[in-house]
Each structure stands twice: as structure tokens, then as C-alpha cells.
A and B are shown apart, each in its own frame.
Chain A
């Protein structure tokens, strides 16, 4: 009853039904070149070099994998978890990748753990039933179910890191790409993108070459009449695109078509407290908003604003449609800049 996070109604079944379809790459895109694979039994440095050469980016934030692994090695991470679920009511690319080849994901995870020195590895799937269906997880790789409350990534990592462990996420597609790079010398040139939303006829997951226009993915899934907005990245934290010729990148993750725009009008706070219950970081967004609206916000009263992870759970759950993430970010900026130096 008092669990953090928010339960969102999911719409993934149709997209997951037929596995991953391959979308033919446009003719003008060059074929990816391969490189010499370090092969099995590679040293951490060789794995990092392979990740760098393959140009692998994590699909969840678009950050280069090699740099992240190097940073985790410096920070002496204890635990590395492969994120094989999508924290989103529509997106299911990571889940589809896990279903397609769990062994490759697990292999990539182990290689990544070796590269950064993490002793513990976890494959995190969307649910227990998803875990039960898994085949071929190697020894030493633990499994965990994400749960059904958004933002599951944050909530699950907190659970996994109980006892003071330092943990980090790595995307399922990044894991698979690392395995390919180390074992076969393949550069990362494609990604799995979910095409979904109310404006799409046949929701599906597509394997798409980087550089393919976003519109091509939508056309492959079939577009309904009267689509008014197209979003990429995530239905909660993503952004809209108005130009469908924009290329697909590693961080695209999804192309969502919506027949209706989200309500632009915000009502005043109704004091329901749902934002505070939804926040995985223990921030009280209503308190932050109240302080900001007072006209003279006091930085010391903007509690924990700096720890916002931008998951937008508060935005999704607010019945008044208030842009709480924006408010908390504003508060964090104010807090960073605004505390007067008494000694000055």
C-alpha cells in the first residue's frame, strides 16, 4: 500500500507476440565493417577496447559503454545488472532481446562485469514468469524480477544494492552487442526499436540499422489516420519529433505514435500526495512546488531536489497535470546556486 512507484497500465502484448522483425536497411546506408575480435578469455582491457572499437552505446541513455565500464572499474562497482525489461507501458525492446537470445545477453553481461571488475552479475527481467521462461543462463549470473511499479529500474537497483553495494545498470542490447563485438568482432550497427502507441496499426519490435529514418519504422508498423504526435525514447521521459526523417540511434528505443496530444493545461495541486508516493528517491515534489510557488523559495526547504533521477513518475501520476519534474529540476538548480555563503 505504501510502496513507492506507480503502477501503469501496460500495452506490450501485441508488440511482443511476433518476436523481433528485421527492417531492411535503406540502400544508402553503408554496411558495417567488422574488426578483429579479441575472442574468448580476453583481458578486461581488451574487452574495453573491443567495446570502444565497436562503438557500443547503452540504449537506455545513449552513453558509450566503454567509458561507463571504465568508470565503474574506477569506482569498484560490486554489482552489474543487465536491464532486460523496459520501464514503460509501450516499450518492450529489451524484453524482446532477452527472449530472443538470453545466452548472448548473459555472455555480454559477464564480459562487462569482467571488464569493470564487478563480482556480482544479475539479469533483471520484467516479471517472474519471464524469468521462468529463460533458458541458458550461465552459472554465476543471478536473475531478478523487476516488479510492476514504475520506475522499476530505480526501485530494483535499490533492492539489489541493499547492504551498501555499489551497483550499475547496463542495457540488454548493449550486453548483446558487447558479446558480438568480443566474440565475433561485429560493430554495433543496429538496435531493436518498438513501434507502438494508439496511432500504430500493428505494434511490433523491429531490428533497425542505425540511420534508418524514424518514419520508416512507423510505416513498417502501419500508421493510423490522424496521428498528432510521435515520440521517441520513452513514453514517460522521451521527446516528440516533428520530422520523421530523423535517424534511429542506439538510444531511440521506441517510436510511439499518438492520435491525441497530452493535455497541456495544468490545474492547481489537489494535495493528493501521489507524487510523493510515486517518487523512488523520497523527494516530496508537492513540497518543492509549494516552496517554488511561494515567490521566494528557500533553498534549505527544497529537500532532496538534487537527487531527482528524472524518471517522471511524479508527472505521470499527478492528477493536476503539473510539470513536477521540471519544478524539481528548477529547485535542484536553485539549490546548487542559491544557498548564500555565510562566510563571504
Chain B
């Protein structure tokens, strides 16, 4: 079980990296990269909500699958589940660690929104793998988010140097940077993103 979890986590960081191979969640990673102090906390939140989303997907799938409009209802149900998870975790944090929530609570919502609908591919991917695989993949996604944010933090610095052309300095160069890095990940998958 542990091996299954580790393998799924490794896949999430490398060949099936959602951020660079797939391009999902990069908006959030870019924002996180602009605040290097919050990368760790954001990554933990992403891992937590990815875990919630994966388990929500696994739990809801048997209920949704028989319905005629399952593919329409699935994302909506998962968004509601993510909203509930957000409310519960935010309420808990406000009660147990009010100081922490005041400082870092604003990162909780985007993390929940970003990872909510990832449960759709998770559920499709890990229905065979089971809970351990889903958990491993969620944790791997947290690690991948940390990696992506850290890489982008340094990339943003490289993209704003004294020689860079004014129209490219900052975000445009960062997007090209992401594109080139995405090419490296595409070398693993040959361009086939798993979802």
C-alpha cells in the first residue's frame, strides 16, 4: 500500500506533473511564487484539498455514476464537496489557530477552488488504484505545487533582469519560461497528458 502511495506521489511530481505537464493550477502557483514566504503553507493547503477532492471523488463516484447526467453533475458535486471542506477547515482553523488563520487564511480559498475539480481526473485515474493511490497522488500534487512555486519564484527573478526587453519583462517571459519547462515534461509523456 505504501509502495503504491509512493509510486503515485512520484508520478504526480514527475511524469504526471499537473502543473508543468498539464498546465493545471499554474495561475495559483504563479501567485504563490510572488509571495515566497507563503509557498510552504500554500503547498500544504493544496495537498490537503487535493486529498479531500480525491476522496470526495472516490466516495461520490458510486453515487453519481448511475445517473444519466453524471458527467454534468460530477464537477458540480465535487465543487460543493470542496466548498464544504473549505468551510469546515476554515471554521476549524479559526477556532484552533486564529493567529495562523488571520495570516494565512486567505490562501485556503484559492487552494480549495483550484483543487476541487481535480477530483474528476483523480476519480477516473484511481478507481483502479484505490485509496492509497489517490492519497499518494494528492500528496504528490502538494509536493509538485511546492516545486512549481519554487521554480517559478526563481524564474520570475530571471525574467526581470536589466537586459530583458521591456515588453517581455516579468509575466510574459515567465509564461515562455513555463512553456519551455512544459516541453521538458512533455519529453516524459510524449505530449499525452493523463487526463
- The CA-CA distance from A222 to B185 in the complex, in Å, is 66
* B171 CB, nearest partner CB in chain A, Å: 15
- The CA-CA distance from A268 to B163 in the complex, in Å, is 8
Q: Is the CB of B163 within 8 A of A294?
A: no
B161 beta carbon closer than 8 Å to chain A? yes
A243 beta carbon closer than 8 Å to chain B? no
B34 beta carbon closer than 8 Å to chain A? no
- The CA-CA distance from A315 to B162 in the complex, in Å, is 19
**Interface residues, chain A, CB within 8 Å of chain B?**
268, 293-295
* B87 CB, nearest partner CB in chain A, Å: 38
- A290 and chain B: residue at smallest CB distance: B157
Q: Is the CB of A295 within 8 A of B160?
A: yes
Chain A contacts of B161 at CB under 8 A? 268, 293
- The CA-CA distance from A268 to B158 in the complex, in Å, is 12
- A267 and chain B: residue at smallest CB distance: B163
Chain B contacts of A294 at CB under 8 A? 157
- The CA-CA distance from A294 to B160 in the complex, in Å, is 8
- The CA-CA distance from A305 to B161 in the complex, in Å, is 21
- The CA-CA distance from A300 to B161 in the complex, in Å, is 21
- B163 and chain A: residue at smallest CB distance: A268
Nearest 6 CB-CB pairings of A with B: A293-B162, A293-B161, A294-B157, A295-B160, A268-B163, A268-B161
- The CA-CA distance from A293 to B163 in the complex, in Å, is 10
- Classify the interface of chain B: helix, strand, loop or mixed: loop
- The CA-CA distance from A268 to B162 in the complex, in Å, is 10
* B1 CB, nearest partner CB in chain A, Å: 45
- The CA-CA distance from A293 to B157 in the complex, in Å, is 9
Chain B contacts of A268 at CB under 8 A? 161, 163
A/B interface sample: 6 pairs, CB < 8 A: A268-B161, A268-B163, A293-B161, A293-B162, A294-B157, A295-B160
- The CA-CA distance from A295 to B161 in the complex, in Å, is 8
Chain B contacts of A293 at CB under 8 A? 161-162
Bits for B151-195, please: 1 = Cβ < 8 Å to A, else 0: 000000100111100000000000000000000000000000000
- The CA-CA distance from A294 to B162 in the complex, in Å, is 9
- A292 and chain B: residue at smallest CB distance: B162
- B161 and chain A: residue at smallest CB distance: A293
* B127 CB, nearest partner CB in chain A, Å: 47
- The CA-CA distance from A295 to B160 in the complex, in Å, is 8
Chain A contacts of B157 at CB under 8 A? 294
- The CA-CA distance from A81 to B161 in the complex, in Å, is 45
Chain A contacts of B163 at CB under 8 A? 268
* B83 CB, nearest partner CB in chain A, Å: 38
- A268 and chain B: residue at smallest CB distance: B163
Chain B contacts of A295 at CB under 8 A? 160
- B162 and chain A: residue at smallest CB distance: A293
- The CA-CA distance from A294 to B158 in the complex, in Å, is 8
* A268 CB, nearest partner CB in chain B, Å: 6
Chain A contacts of B162 at CB under 8 A? 293
- The CA-CA distance from A134 to B59 in the complex, in Å, is 94
- A294 and chain B: residue at smallest CB distance: B157
- The CA-CA distance from A295 to B169 in the complex, in Å, is 12
- The CA-CA distance from A295 to B157 in the complex, in Å, is 9
- The CA-CA distance from A328 to B163 in the complex, in Å, is 20
- The CA-CA distance from A230 to B109 in the complex, in Å, is 66
- The CA-CA distance from A293 to B159 in the complex, in Å, is 11
Interface residues of B in 135-160 (CB under 8 A from A): 157, 160
- The CA-CA distance from A293 to B162 in the complex, in Å, is 7
- The CA-CA distance from A159 to B37 in the complex, in Å, is 44
- The CA-CA distance from A294 to B161 in the complex, in Å, is 7
* A173 CB, nearest partner CB in chain B, Å: 43
- The CA-CA distance from A294 to B157 in the complex, in Å, is 7
Chain A contacts of B160 at CB under 8 A? 295
* A323 CB, nearest partner CB in chain B, Å: 13
- The CA-CA distance from A127 to B181 in the complex, in Å, is 54
- The CA-CA distance from A293 to B158 in the complex, in Å, is 10
- The CA-CA distance from A36 to B177 in the complex, in Å, is 77
- The CA-CA distance from A23 to B114 in the complex, in Å, is 82
- B160 and chain A: residue at smallest CB distance: A295
- The CA-CA distance from A56 to B73 in the complex, in Å, is 94
- The CA-CA distance from A168 to B141 in the complex, in Å, is 62
* B190 CB, nearest partner CB in chain A, Å: 33
- The CA-CA distance from A158 to B163 in the complex, in Å, is 39
* B165 CB, nearest partner CB in chain A, Å: 14
- The CA-CA distance from A344 to B161 in the complex, in Å, is 33
* B132 CB, nearest partner CB in chain A, Å: 43
- B157 and chain A: residue at smallest CB distance: A294
- The CA-CA distance from A294 to B159 in the complex, in Å, is 10
* B98 CB, nearest partner CB in chain A, Å: 26
* B173 CB, nearest partner CB in chain A, Å: 14
* A140 CB, nearest partner CB in chain B, Å: 55
* B33 CB, nearest partner CB in chain A, Å: 14
- The CA-CA distance from A294 to B153 in the complex, in Å, is 12
